[in-house]
Amino acid sequence: MAENDPIASIVKPFNTLVIGMTSRPGAGISRFTRRAHDQYVADIAPGLSQFRAIQPITMHYLLKRAGYQPTSDTYSVNPQTLREFHRNSFINGTHEAILHPLHKLVSDIVIVEKIRHPQDAAYIQQHGGFILHAMTDEATADSRYISDINDFKFSSAPYSEERMNELTLSKAEMSPASPDDIYSSNILGCIELADDTADFNGSMNDSMKNGLNAVVRLAFRYLDLDQTPQDIAS
């Protein structure tokens, strides 16, 4: 921010690098973060010794901290009520409280999945973080979405009617529910705000590599350092 920007005096930057990841539903962000969880940054990029490990945080976790009550089952999520709770946080002015815990984190590179609201993306950027777009084509994302057996939202078999219906609901979040609903999910709006892009169209191994490379690029950008090929572990 510019020194004469009045907002700069009241916005407190995060204490570490925060990266919000956004994508069309099914791109593979959850799989990526499961594999990246607790990976030591120095093993990926020796030039980033300032950071300890990669720490993913789900939006579901942040919403629960802010008061969202899914069901009596800790691991059960009703996507519809989750989205409504998130939307209402913008309407009733409690939105910033959802993301405030990110200010308490230090040392790790924090990845927040999954950013669906441009206001969330803007909050992360205003506090010194970045938005990363995990890019996939629609066919690849659809296939991954309905076949992810590790997604705890589902209890039915892959390609079941339940999963297909949930995919339809999730894809509706790509654009606002109505043109004048500024509080609606709007993944396309988040993608437009992205600071960098990682190609997730290939295999999950390739997506993992591309995602980590993008995280490294953003980390060097965060530190205002130049990156060289030697900075990334082979």
What pLDDT sits at residue 172? 87
Average pLDDT, stretch 22-35?
93
Q: Are 70 and 64 in contact (CB under 8 A)?
A: yes
Residues 75-113 have pLDDT tens digits of 455 677 888 889 899 999 888 889 999 999 999 999 999
Name residues whose C-beta falls within 8 Å of residue 51's C-beta, 6 or more positions apart in sequence.
16, 17, 41, 42, 107, 108, 109, 219
Residue-by-residue DSSP string for the chain:
--TT-GGGGTPPPPSS-EEEEE-STTSSHHHHHHHHTT-BHHHH-GGGTT--BEEEEEHHHHHHHTT----SSTT---HHHHHHHHHHHHHTT-HHHHHGGGGG--SSEEEEE----HHHHHHHHHTT-EEEEEE--HHHHHHHHHH-TT-TT--SPTT-HHHHHHHHHHHGGGS-SSTT-TTS--HHHHHHT-SEEEE-SS-HHHHHHHHHHHHHHHHHHHTT----GGGS--
Name residues whose C-beta falls within 8 Å of residue 187's C-beta, 6 or more positions apart in sequence.
22, 23, 24, 25, 116, 173, 174, 175
From 15, 51, 24, 13, select the one nearest 231 (Cα to Cα). 51
Share of the chain above pLDDT 70, in %: 83
Name residues whose C-beta falls within 8 Å of residue 180's C-beta, 6 or more positions apart in sequence.
none
pLDDT tier at 177, thresholds 50, 70, 90? confident
What pLDDT sits at residue 159? 63
Average pLDDT over the chain, rounded to an integer: 85
Q: According to the per-residue pLDDT averaged within each range, which of 12-16, 67-71, 159-163 is highest?
A: 12-16
What pLDDT sits at residue 147? 78
Q: Which two tokens stand for residue 33?
A: 């973060």
For the chain, the first-to-last Cα distance in angstroms comes to 35
pTM of the model: 0.87
Higher pLDDT, 183 or 163: 183
**Does residue 3 surpass a pLDDT of 70?**
no
Residues 199-223 have pLDDT tens digits of 999 998 999 999 999 999 999 999 9
CA distance 103 to 14: 5
pLDDT tier at 69, thresholds 50, 70, 90? confident
Average pLDDT, stretch 14-30?
95
To the nearest 10°, report the CA torsion of 171, 69, 36, 47: 110
CB atoms inside a 10 Å sphere around CB 62? 19
Q: Which two tokens stand for residue 201?
A: 């169209």
pLDDT tier at 162, thresholds 50, 70, 90? confident
What pLDDT sits at residue 150? 57
Residues 181-201 have pLDDT tens digits of 888 899 999 999 999 999 999
